[in-house]
């Protein structure tokens, strides 16, 4: 058991020296591509966070870094082995100490880190943002010294703040070795801390859970995200990463991945999220088993089905619109009859009928050739705007040279269905495509919030 040193840079240098002297116990002696293939395992260091690696409501590992690392391991013809650490500092220490082949942890490539490590190719960029709670907050770095600012130790945030302090002498902050960025954001949300610094992707996702967080201003230019590899002995691994990422991008897989995890991110107003959380507390236990049963019977994700119902009716079984749709899933009379719903105001019947209808739409889209997970987003849009308008949007995407099977691409095209120059040439004409795009985004956000609430309150 290695004692945890206090200063991150010293930890890393000690570990590097350890490796150079071949004195490390339990580490991997070689990180070359040949050694990894001979071993048959790619050891990936990562951390548990929404932007990297986490366990979903079905008990399966997921996350953008996880998905990419699995695809890379498959490209190499080996199995991935994930080792989860608590912080960026712990990840860097572990890699320097030979405990993994690479880090897939949403880490920015900085000049300081390049002194001790090598990096794979850049796959995304982020900016560092100052995040504070709602209220009277700083408008610039010059005002930040009046607030309690805390950031994670041994991070790119500390490096940037040190640079800024050369110009803003009053700037000061504290650091923590025991908390991650997400935990600091929670402290800001709870009023226990004035401000912190986080990457823009982390801020965007967490503001859905903590809507009173304010991203005040950026303190950096866009910074590259890349996988971290050992400084020595991993050149062949880096070249393999470069070749894989080129193919991954060219196939559209990277775009689809970013769409899956980030493109639906939008900010809800504080009142709206607070109301949803209250509804989770009061109504979710009542309908949870019905959502799970209906989802299982129709091969649907239960939290997506539940989020869809909330978007439709706010889980009000007696909801009704001026157009005549009614009930928890807001079904038309014709749709209700087609899918075996005798009483639209019966929540159990409504949920089951809505699930059957959504699964039916997925089936039609599968027949149309829409692949994999994208079918669910297309099906949700079809539930909202109509199947034939979705077909029109895919047809228009193809005409415009975009990928008709990518929800990301079609979500950019759907709003064009309300413009006459486009819809006059489409079989089913005008449609409010922007509404459908927002509908899908909100469902995905509600599902994420519900997932986090369940994770934080296992009894729910």
List 92's β-bridge partners, or say none: none
Query: Which residues have a Cβ under 8 Å from the Cβ of 441 and sit 6 or more positions away?
Result: 264, 266
Phi then psi for residue 179, to 5 deg, are -125, 150
Alpha helices in 368-432 (DSSP H): 374-385, 387-399, 407-413, 420-423
Task: Quickly tell me which residue has 């979500």 as its tokens.
Answer: 411
Structure-token pair, residue 251: 């196939």
* Distance from C-alpha of 99 to C-alpha of 103, rounded to nearest angstrom: 10
Task: Quickly tell me which residue has 């939008």 as its tokens.
Answer: 266
Cα-based angle 47, 157, 217 (whole degrees, multiple of 5) = 115
Q: Strand, helix or coil at 225?
A: strand
* Distance from C-alpha of 96 to C-alpha of 98, rounded to nearest angstrom: 6
Q: What is the largest CA-CA distance in the chain?
A: 76
* Distance from C-alpha of 76 to C-alpha of 78, rounded to nearest angstrom: 6
Structure-token pair, residue 149: 């600012």
Task: Tell me how far apart the terminal alpha carbons of the chain are, to the nearest angstrom.
Answer: 37
Structure-token pair, residue 238: 């880096």
- Reference 8, options 96, 107, 103, 120; nearest CA is 96
In a 10 Å sphere around its CB, with 0-12 CB exposed, 13-18 middle and 19+ buried, how is residue 3 labelled? exposed
Neighbours of 79 (CB within 10 A): 12
| Active site annotation includes 312 | yes
Q: Do 344 and 350 touch, CB atoms closer than 8 A?
A: yes
- Reference 285, options 435, 437, 458; nearest CA is 458
Among candidate residues 182, 216, 312, 404, the one labeled active-site is 312
Q: Which amino acids are annotated catalytic?
A: 312
């Amino acid at each position: 058991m290695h004692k945890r040193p206090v200063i991150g840079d010293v930890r890393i240098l000690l570990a590097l020296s350890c490796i150079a002297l071949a004195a490390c116990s339990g580490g991997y002696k070689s990180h070359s591509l040949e050694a990894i293939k001979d071993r048959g395992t790619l050891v990936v260091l990562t951390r548990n966070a929404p932007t990297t690696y986490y366990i979903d409501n079905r008990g399966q590992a997921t996350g953008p870094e996880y998905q990419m690392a699995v695809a890379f391991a498959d490209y190499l013809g080996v199995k991935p082995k994930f080792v989860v650490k608590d912080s960026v500092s712990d990840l860097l220490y572990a890699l320097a100490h030979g405990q993994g082949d690479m880090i897939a942890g949403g880490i920015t490539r900085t000049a300081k880190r390049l002194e001790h490590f090598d990096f794979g190719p850049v796959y995304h960029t982020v900016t560092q943002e100052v995040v504070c709670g709602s209220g009277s907050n700083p408008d610039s770095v010059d005002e930040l010294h009046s607030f309690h600012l805390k950031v994670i130790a041994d991070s790119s945030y500390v490096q940037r703040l040190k640079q800024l302090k050369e110009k803003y002498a009053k700037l000061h902050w504290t650091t923590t070795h025991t908390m991650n960025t997400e935990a600091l954001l929670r402290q800001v949300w709870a009023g226990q801390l004035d401000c912190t610094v986080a990457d823009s992707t982390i801020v965007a996702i967490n503001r859905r859970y903590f809507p009173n967080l304010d991203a005040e201003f950026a303190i950096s230019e866009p910074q590259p995200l890349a996988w971290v590899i050992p400084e020595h002995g991993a050149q062949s691994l880096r070249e393999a990463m470069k070749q894989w990422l080129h193919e991954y991008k060219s196939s559209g897989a990277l775009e689809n991945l970013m769409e899956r995890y980030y493109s639906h991110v939008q900010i809800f107003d504080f009142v709206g999220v607070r109301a949803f959380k209250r509804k989770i507390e009061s109504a979710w236990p009542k309908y949870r088993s019905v959502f799970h049963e209906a989802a299982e019977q129709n091969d649907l994700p239960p939290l997506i089905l539940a989020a869809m119902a909330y978007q439709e009716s706010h889980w009000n079984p007696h909801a009704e619109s001026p157009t005549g749709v009614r009930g928890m899933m807001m079904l038309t009379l014709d749709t209700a009859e087609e899918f075996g719903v005798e009483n639209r105001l019966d929540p159990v019947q409504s949920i089951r009928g809505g699930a059957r209808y959504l699964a039916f739409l997925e089936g039609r889209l599968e027949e149309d050739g829409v692949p994999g997970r994208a079918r669910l987003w297309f099906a949700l849009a079809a539930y909202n705007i109509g199947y034939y308008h979705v077909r029109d949007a895919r047809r228009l995407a193809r005409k415009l040279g975009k990928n008709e099977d990518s929800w990301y691409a079609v979500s950019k095209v759907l709003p064009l269905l309300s413009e006459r120059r486009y819809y006059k040439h489409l079989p089913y004409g005008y449609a409010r495509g922007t509404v459908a795009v927002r509908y899908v985004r909100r469902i995905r956000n509600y599902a994420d919030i519900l997932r986090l609430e369940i994770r934080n309150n296992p009894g729910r």
